[in-house]
Amino acid sequence: MIERLDRARIDALPPPEVVDHPADLALEFPDVIIVTDHSCRQCSYNLRGLSAAGRCPECGAGIDLSQQPRYRGLVAFLESVATAALVLLIVVVVVLDLAFAASVHIRFVVIAWALAAIVAAPSWWVTRKGGIGRLFLVISAMLVVLPYVPHTRVKSYAMFYACIKPGMTRTDVLARLDDYYPDRASTDVPTVRVDSADRLSLTLGGDNTPYNAECIVIRFTNGIVIAKSYSPD
C-alpha cells in the first residue's frame, strides 16, 4: 500500500528538468559556484571554485560557461586533427626521403614546411597548446637537418648531384665525388660510364646491380659545368 502510494506520488511529480551541462545552470543562477574543472575560454586558467558570474582572475575575460562545451569540443577536435596530420606529415617526409632522397630537393622541403605551417597555425592559434607548437618545431628541425643526412645509398648519390653547380670545373666535380666517396674501393662508389671532354656520366650501381640505371649526367664546355641531369633507376 505504501509502495503503491509512493509510486502514484512519483508519477504525479513534474518530470525532472534535464540539465545537459552545469553551464546551463550557471546561466539561470549566476551566483552558482563552478565546482568542476572549467578552463577560461581565453587563457585556459582553471575557473573551478569561482562564481560563474565573475571574471577570470588571470586575464579578466568574462566567465561565459555557456560557450564552453561547444568551444571545448571544437578546440579538442582541431587539436587532434592537427596532431594526426602533423604526425602523418613526419612519417610521409621520412618515407619519401628514405625511398627517393626527397629532402635533397629544396622545393620538397619548402612544400613540406608550408604544409606543416598551414596545418599547425590555425589549431595553435585556437588552442594555444604547446603540443602543436612542439610538433611543428620537430618538423621544422627535421626539414633543416634531413637534407644533410646521407642515410641511404641513393641519398648520398643525390646529395653529390645536388652539390654540382654550373660554373664548377671538372676538377671541382671530381673533388666533390671524392668528398662523398673517400673510399674508392668501396662497392658504393658510383660507376663512371662516360668520361669525355664535354660529358661525365655516372650510375650509382655497376652492371647487373641495383641502381645500374640511377644515372647522373654532367655536361661541360671548356671544362666548366653547363648542365646536369638526374634520372632515377
Are the CB atoms for 75 and 124 separated by under 8 Å? no
Q: Which of 7, 21, 58, 226 binds Zn ion (CB under 5 A)?
A: 58
Contact between 65 and Zn ion per CB under 5 A: no
**How near is the Cβ of 44 to Zn ion at its closest, in Å?**
7
Tell me the chain's radius of gyration from C-alpha atoms. 32
**How near is the Cβ of 63 to Zn ion at its closest, in Å?**
9
Residues in region 21-40 near Zn ion by CB under 5 A: 40
**How near is the Cβ of 228 to Zn ion at its closest, in Å?**
58
Dmax (CA) of the chain: 114
Give the CA-trace dihedral at 144, 149, 154, 158, to 10 degrees: 50
Task: Give the β-pairing of 215-221 and 199-203.
Answer: antiparallel
Are the CB atoms for 34 and 65 separated by under 8 Å? yes
Q: Which of 23, 26, 56, 119 binds Zn ion (CB under 5 A)?
A: 56
**How near is the Cβ of 179 to Zn ion at its closest, in Å?**
56
Are the CB atoms for 37 and 48 separated by under 8 Å? yes
Contact between 59 and Zn ion per CB under 5 A: yes
Segment interacting with Zn ion (CB under 5 A) among 52-60, 70-78, 94-102, 130-138: 52-60
Find the helix or strand (DSSP H, E) in which 16 lies.
none
Contact between 191 and Zn ion per CB under 5 A: no
Q: Interface with Zn ion by CB under 5 A: which residues? A: 40, 42-43, 45, 56, 58-59, 61
